[in-house]
Chain A
Amino acid sequence: MGTLTIGCFPSIVGNMGYDFALKLADAAVSKGHKVSIWFSGNATVSVKAHQKHLKDYSTAEKYLQALLAKGVEICTCEACTVARGIQKTEGIEGIQWNAMHWYLAKIHAADRVLQIGGE
Chain B
Amino acid sequence: MGDVKCAFIVQKPQYKGETSRLAITHAIAYQTVEILLEDGDTVTPKLCFIGEGVLGLQKGQNAMDVYGITSTESHVKNCLLVDLNVLVCKEDLDKYGISEDSLPDADDMGADMKIQVVPFSEIQKVLDESQHVLFF
Contact = CB atoms under 8 A, between A and B. Distances in A.
The answer to whether A and B touch directly, with their CB atoms under 8 angstroms apart, is yes
Contacts of B64: none
A103 to B, nearest CB: 6
Interface residues of B, number: 26
A107 B36 CA distance: 12
A41 B20 CA distance: 11
Which secondary structure dominates chain A's binding surface?
Answer: mixed
Contact of B33 (A9, A42, A105): A105
B18 A99 contact: no
B63 interface: no
A100 B36 CA distance: 11
B11 to A, nearest CB: 9
B134 A108 contact: no
Given A41-B18, A118-B18, A119-B17, A100 B25 contact: yes
A119 B135 CA distance: 12
B12 interface: yes
A113 to B, nearest CB: 4
Contact of B32 (A7, A40, A99, A118): A99
Interface of B: 1, 4, 6, 12, 16-19, 22, 25-26, 28-30, 32-33, 35-37, 41, 43, 45, 132, 134-136
Interface of A: 7, 9, 40-42, 99-105, 107-110, 112-113, 115, 117-119
